[in-house]
Structure 1
Amino acid sequence: MKLLNQTLKKIGTLNKESMKKTRQRIDNLIKPLGSLGKIEDIAVKLAGITGNTFPTVDNKVVIVMSADHGVYEEGVAPDPQILTAIQTPNFAKGVTGVCAFAKQARADVIVVDIGVATDINDPRVINRKIRYGTSNMAKGPAMTREEAIKSLEIGIEITASQIKEGKNLIGTGEMGISNTTSSTAIFSAIGKLDPIEIVGIGAGLPVEKLSHKANVIKKAIEINQPNPKDGIDVLAKVGGFEIGGMAGVFLGAAAHKVPVVVDGFISTAAALIAITIEPKVKDFLIPSHHTAEKGGQVAYKLVGLEPMFDMGLRLGEGSGAALAFNFIEAATYMLKEMITYKEAGIIL
């Protein structure tokens, strides 16, 4: 709890002066006013986050949190739970979807076992296992409050270590069979929504089973009564270890004034947990893509962010965050490589 409290105290606000100077330069670049749309907004936000009018994001990493969920036993996912354990080492091997996109974006990928249901015997996987998966939230809390805080602090610690190594742009990713169930529960609890309104197919659940998945989520919320104003309580009651880990990444990055990218549906649930714990975090988050999950639009409304692109993605892993790295870095190139009308000797 000490590390979490210290981190929360460090989270401030955006540097308005840097944002003002960056906006002034952008508005005077040799192009029609506003013609680069969201790229311009990203550049201004980067200036606010870093306090640098010419920010750099050339050392990138996607932090993938991997864990299992006890609610799997309720039949809410189409795939065997062992896939979490099978896929987790593949991130370290560099052969997953996010790894492919990260290579293109010149970004690293690290993977953390924060609660996979079996042991992962690969030294390249960072072992921070809290325990072997969460408990079944349809029967009681997914984890204790202490475990929820531990998941947040693991995310904070991993983020700090990456920043210490020089990382200046961070993306969030995850792996965990049944984690769309926990994510939907988080949105339902904090947004006070009926799960049936936002529940989706996740990794391919048959449509005819959606009502069952919604009912399981509804039951979990009724049994556990998570406090929608207490992000840690929601995480403990209906969340997942990897969701807590990602929420910790958001908190840690904000505390260090390093831009951090929100991926898809599960990552957005983690962002909502982080924002519920400390609302100032939102200003440090850069949303990537619209998710094809049914509740995607509702999810982004709850966190108060607008995604930068829509390509029908619903893989997760951090794949959308890795793709977004290209747009974000492009914004810094716009600032550094384009000249202003004055620098071009043009007077209008």
Structure 2
Amino acid sequence: MNSSKPLDLSARNAARARQATLTKPPGSLGQLEDLACRFAAWQGRAKPEAPRPAITVFAGDHGVTVEGVSAFPSAVTTEMVRNFANGGAAICVLARALDARLEVVDAGVAGDVSALPIVHAKVRAGSRNLAKETAMSAEETSAALEVGRAAARRAVEAGANLLIAGDMGIGNTTASAALICRLTGASPELVVGRGTGIDDIGLANKLRVVKTALARVAWENLSGQDTLAELGGLEIAAMAGFYLEGARLGVPSLIDGFIASAAALCAKSMEPSLHDWLLASHRSAEPGHDHALAALQLPALVDLGMRLGEGSGAAVCVPLLQLAVRLHNEMATFEEAGISGKSA
């Protein structure tokens, strides 16, 4: 079984001690101070290295799209993967701006993307219709998890010390909503959102589909991996594997939005200690994201009203993390600056 690397608590304590000596009132940098100390614990260094992100976008199609749950056809998954490969998607722009490694992985795209310069790791051509049957077999789920684990290993071997998983898959907000409902106990009415922009009729239909899927497994005693197989998707499983392997290797993951949080919930249900290696980036505009973040016990750093996916919300937060570490490392101490400290 996967197990997460222990945090270095001595490094975290040393970082907290350093924060107390910097030329500022204690706690005046708020969450930035805690973020720097978290990186110290992750890296085992009182003065951690700056975050070097690697972004991996996992793509897969969903059989549940035959139920009419999306405003866009399944073909858009293939077309967007092509857009990723050509550098035209939002996450491509963000990766260039951050000088971050970007990899696109076909975990289960239904269309033919074999000619594109991406990682070809297709487990099968899309998941099955989760409203009617198990989305992925046990073997397919394990294979998709390994696709993500292998991607995390590649990212770390290339020098990343921060992992970001992005998603692309028409229909994946439906799968994610079902997963979040099952894993948190939240009602579908509170979790199901408009995804790609469906109207009121479409939203009512999507709600019906999620309820049907949940009813199909209502009396099943499912493990975390079983839940992923029943209600998830190939790219969601790959993202879960990505997070699990990152934690095993001792590299934190910055969680994106709704789909990423569903994947993180699945991964945490398989390895509870994973929590120590997760950081939530932004609060998605999808209504169910709050329930996922609450279950993960991860407060979001920012709320920008984003709901794009692709890892975009996480990427936007990277400069904030980099600044937190630079402030921690480069600010002068009271002694270095010759400034009197706080009176006793």
Secondary structure of the residue aligned to 2:283 is strand
Give the Å deviation of 1:347.
3.1
Contact 1:226 1:233 in 2 (8 A): no
Letter aligned with residue 247 of structure 1: A
Contact 1:254 1:284 in 2 (8 A): yes
Q: For 1:33 and 1:58, how far apart are their aligned partners in 2?
A: 24
Letter aligned with residue 80 of structure 1: P
Letter aligned with residue 90 of structure 2: G
Q: For 1:226 and 1:34, how far apart are their aligned partners in 2?
A: 49
**Alignment-derived partner of residue 132 in structure 1:** 125
1:104-139, Cα deviation, whole Å (9 max, x unpaired): 222121100000011103342100000000000111
**Alignment-derived partner of residue 257 in structure 1:** 250
Distance 1:122 1:328, change over 3 A: farther
**Alignment-derived partner of residue 77 in structure 2:** 84
| 2:241 pairs with 1:248 | yes
Residue number among 296, 299, 302 corresponding to 2:292 in the alignment: 299
Contact 1:287 1:305 in 2 (8 A): yes
Residue number among 259, 269, 272 corresponding to 1:276 in the alignment: 269
Secondary structure of the residue aligned to 1:170 is strand
Letter aligned with residue 276 of structure 1: S
Secondary structure of the residue aligned to 1:249 is helix
Q: For 1:43 and 1:147, how far apart are their aligned partners in 2?
A: 39
**Alignment-derived partner of residue 21 in structure 1:** 14
Residue number among 67, 87, 98 corresponding to 1:74 in the alignment: 67
**Alignment-derived partner of residue 121 in structure 1:** 114
| 2:46 pairs with 1:53 | yes
Distance 1:227 1:242, change over 3 A: farther
Contact 2:191 2:287 in 1 (8 A): yes
Give the Å deviation of 1:43.
0.8
TM-score, structure 1 length as denominator? 0.95
1:244-297, Cα deviation, whole Å (9 max, x unpaired): 111111111111111211000000000101111101111101110000001121
| 2:37 pairs with 1:44 | yes
Q: For 2:174 and 2:316, how far apart are their aligned partners in 1?
A: 25
Q: For 1:265 and 1:307, how far apart are their aligned partners in 2?
A: 12
Q: For 1:322 and 1:80, how far apart are their aligned partners in 2?
A: 27
Count matched residues: 341
Secondary structure of the residue aligned to 1:101 is helix
Contact 1:135 1:142 in 2 (8 A): yes
Q: For 2:221 and 2:47, how far apart are their aligned partners in 1?
A: 39
**Alignment-derived partner of residue 158 in structure 1:** 151
Q: For 2:221 and 2:102, how far apart are their aligned partners in 1?
A: 33
Give the Å deviation of 1:58.
4.7
Residue number among 216, 219, 223 corresponding to 1:223 in the alignment: 216
| 2:204 pairs with 1:178 | no
Instruction: Answer with 315-324 or 337-346: which moved more.
Output: 337-346
Q: For 2:243 and 2:219, how far apart are their aligned partners in 1?
A: 22
Instruction: Answer with 317-326 or 44-53: which moved more.
Output: 44-53
Q: For 2:304 and 2:168, how far apart are their aligned partners in 1?
A: 20
Contact 2:110 2:126 in 1 (8 A): yes
Letter aligned with residue 140 of structure 1: E
Contact 2:78 2:113 in 1 (8 A): yes
Contact 1:141 1:238 in 2 (8 A): yes
Instruction: Answer with 137-146 or 26-35: which moved more.
Output: 26-35
Give the Å deviation of 1:36.
1.3
**Alignment-derived partner of residue 93 in structure 2:** 100
RMSD: 1.4
Contact 1:185 1:195 in 2 (8 A): yes
Q: Which runs of no fewer than 5 residues in structure 1 stay unpaired?
A: none
Q: How does 1:184-195 map to 2 (within 5 A)?
A: 184-195=177-188
Q: For 1:228 and 1:218, how far apart are their aligned partners in 2?
A: 18
Q: Which runs of no fewer than 5 residues in structure 2 stay unpaired?
A: none
Instruction: Answer with 135-144 or 57-66: which moved more.
Output: 57-66
Contact 2:144 2:235 in 1 (8 A): yes
